[in-house]
Amino acid sequence: MPQRMRSRRWYARFAVLCIAALALFPASSAGASASAKPPTSAQCLARVNDTPSKLVECVQTSDLWNHMNKFQAIADANLGPDGHPSRNSGEPGYKASADYVASVMQAAGYNVTIQQYTFTYYAFTGRPTFSEVSPAAHDYALSTEWNPGQSTGTATDQALQPAGGIIIPPTATPSSTSGCTSADFTGFTIGHIALIQRGGCFFGVKVLNAQAAGASAVIIFNEGNPGRTGVLAGSLVDANGKSIIPTIPVAFTSFAIGQDLFNLYKTGQSPRMSLSIPAIVKPNAPDYNVIAESKGGDPNHVVVVDAHLDAIYGAGMLDNASGSATILDIAQMMQNVYPTNKLRFIWFGGEELGLLGSSFYVNNLSSSELSHIGYDLDADVTATPNYLIGVLDPAAPDLFGRTVSSTFPNRVYKSSTIARDQGVAYFDSVGLNHELLSPVGTDAFSFNAVGIPASGLLTGQDCCKSPEEVNLFGGYVGNYEGNVPSFDGGCVDNPFLWCDNLSNNDPKVLTFMSKAFATMVVQMAFDTKVMSSSNNAVYKKTLPIAGEVGRRFEAA
């Protein structure tokens, strides 16, 4: 073949590849003319956005931010028991958020249902207090010196008494089992406040033992080994991993504070303490999942697209109004699309309380219904200013533990890479780095646990970012103790800052993350290879659904 002919054919093939790239990615990422005017929102809503190129250019900052403004307005109009704007599960602000999403989706032509379930509601009604009365008066600062456990009650000017099993100085590796058995409270004086060291068993077990011994309150301090010295934020669960809400107040603090109190007691100075945690508890409080299905698409091949709608403390604009806005806007822009696979958009409740909404949803599907779900895509926090770009992969380490901590059915792993790689391809096309993170702590976990492939996107918390992630994404390092993530009072996880509002979100980050997520949604909507196997049974009613309890807190 003559060289000139080979060259012409090579250029022809190259041209075809360029055209394909332009069809897949927006003009800004494919190198097309920057002068091309993007369609208006009205034009986007009127057309069929059934390809990545069409859909991506219709995901626009103004529309996303309009939804964010709506969620903020809902929070502002609905105060929680603590008097601050709130969209927490079990409160009017959450129900108003669900109603807003349902109305938008109904107007877009989707078939909308509201799924209700109940849970145990807990909320602070005032500011918890913790103080040393004597020998040296000191009021401990929330977050920086202590954190309240999910408990209720007041103990005023009571003597401190250590439980058995405290190991000071601590060993190089965890070894304390303080408070783990009733024997650790032999000789305990009824009415005293129990001082307990971390280690050996769930925190709730320690508290139940202390309560049974007559303690009026409990102070749990960190163990003191490397990576276990800072102020704790602990989950209270019993020996079976079930959440409990003790009727005596529980404080979590640092090793240094616990050691100081222990030493005072050992030298005969007998500290006297006060601890108060004002809170409300409501068994069987209602919560809601909003489910909206496309009118088109094969019901035997369903793609679930989800975000959790609830907040953890307050307005919850980053976590997770941002993800909720992402999928709400994408659903609107796909309202005229007739997908190959049925699209089922779901806004879950109770995610912050242990994946309650997604676990309830999965558990209440028949084997046949669940076997028709071929894929799940999850958007959980999509607008962090000090962001990372996380793409969900069940084989990857999780965001908080930085270890691979979960094992899923074999069917999950290979198929999950399909949408994962679609997200990665988009970020590569716009020159953005990414990292792979597991679904632990997200609603995708509930789907992976029963054999459904899943991927998704997240931008990380507003508190924690490693040096390696700064190298990848810029920004600044979060609060780390050695190599172990901890929490530095970021807006999301601090119940007393009330600052997870609009200013805690970056509209530029929200936009590029939403565009990336859109490419994953529209491609999976028309996938035939992975989805064709989704009518194979993958679920048994005897298989437990693994939900996390207090996903951001230490359990032991």
CA distances from 101 to 41, 234, 345 (A): 18, 33, 11
Please answer whether residues 265 and 160 qualify as being in contact, where contact means their C-beta atoms are separated by less than 8 angstroms: yes
Torsion of the alpha carbons at 317, 323, 324 and 328, rounded to the nearest 10: 130
User: Which of the pair, 529 or 552, is modelled with greater confidence?
Assistant: 529
Is residue 529 scored above 50 in pLDDT?
A: yes
Is residue 102 scored above 80 in pLDDT?
A: yes
User: Which of the pair, 35 or 420, is modelled with greater confidence?
Assistant: 420
Average pLDDT over residues 326-333: 98
Q: What are the tokens at 200?
A: 């050996």
> Which pLDDT score is estimated for 403?
80
Average pLDDT over residues 278-301: 97
Q: What is the pLDDT of residues 18-65, one digit of tens each?
A: 434 444 444 444 334 445 788 999 999 999 999 999 999 999 999 999
Please answer whether residues 253 and 140 qualify as being in contact, where contact means their C-beta atoms are separated by less than 8 angstroms: yes
Of 105-109, 478-482, 486-490, where does mean pLDDT reach its minimum?
A: 478-482
Please answer whether residues 197 and 139 qualify as being in contact, where contact means their C-beta atoms are separated by less than 8 angstroms: no
- Of all residues in the chain, the percent with pLDDT exceeding 90 is 77
Q: What is the pLDDT of residues 372-405, one digit of tens each?
A: 999 999 999 999 998 999 999 999 988 777 788 7
Q: What is the pLDDT of residues 134-144, one digit of tens each?
A: 999 999 999 88
CATH classification for the domain delimited by 128-277, as one of 3.50.30.30, 3.30.420.40, 3.40.50.20, 3.40.50.2000: 3.50.30.30
Please answer whether residues 51 and 522 qualify as being in contact, where contact means their C-beta atoms are separated by less than 8 angstroms: yes
What's the CA gap between 263 and 283, in Å, rounded? 40
Q: Bridge-partner residues for 162, per DSSP?
A: 195
CATH code linked to domain 54-122+283-533: 3.40.630.10
416 half-sphere exposure, CB direction, 13 A CA radius? 31
Q: What are the tokens at 290?
A: 């909003």
> Which pLDDT score is estimated for 398?
83
- Of all residues in the chain, the percent with pLDDT exceeding 70 is 87
Grouping H, G, I as helix, E, B as strand and the rest as coil, residue 394 is coil
Of 178-182, 418-422, 476-480, where does mean pLDDT reach its minimum?
A: 476-480
Is residue 289 scored above 60 in pLDDT?
A: yes
Omega cis (within 30) before 485: no
> Which pLDDT score is estimated for 479?
52
Is residue 8 scored above 60 in pLDDT?
A: no
Please answer whether residues 458 and 469 qualify as being in contact, where contact means their C-beta atoms are separated by less than 8 angstroms: no
What's the CA gap between 436 and 420, in Å, rounded? 9
Please answer whether residues 78 and 93 qualify as being in contact, where contact means their C-beta atoms are separated by less than 8 angstroms: yes
Candidates 405, 539, 391, 396; CA nearest to 455 is: 391
Contacts of 88 (CB under 8 A, 6+ apart): 80, 94, 123, 310, 311, 312, 313, 314, 316, 352
- Give the domain ranges of the chain: 54-122+283-533, 128-277
Q: What are the tokens at 111?
A: 């078939």
> Which pLDDT score is estimated for 545?
33
Is residue 355 scored above 90 in pLDDT?
A: yes
Task: Work out the pLDDT band at 490, boundaries 50, 70, 90.
Answer: low
Average pLDDT over residues 94-120: 98
Q: Bridge-partner residues for 112, per DSSP?
A: 292
Grouping H, G, I as helix, E, B as strand and the rest as coil, residue 49 is coil
The pairing of strands 298-308 and 341-348 is parallel
The pairing of strands 193-197 and 435-437 is unpaired
> Which pLDDT score is estimated for 59?
98
Is residue 426 scored above 70 in pLDDT?
A: yes
Q: What is the pLDDT of residues 245-271, one digit of tens each?
A: 999 999 999 999 999 999 999 999 989
Average pLDDT over residues 479-485: 39
Is residue 90 scored above 70 in pLDDT?
A: yes
**Residue 522: what residue type?**
V
- Please calculate the CA angle 551-66-505 and round it to the nearest 5 degrees: 40
- Mean pLDDT rounded to a whole number for the chain: 88
Of 94-98, 354-358, 472-476, where does mean pLDDT reach its minimum?
A: 472-476
Task: Work out the pLDDT band at 552, boundaries 50, 70, 90.
Answer: very low
> Which pLDDT score is estimated for 13?
40
- Please calculate the CA angle 110-113-116 and round it to the nearest 5 degrees: 155
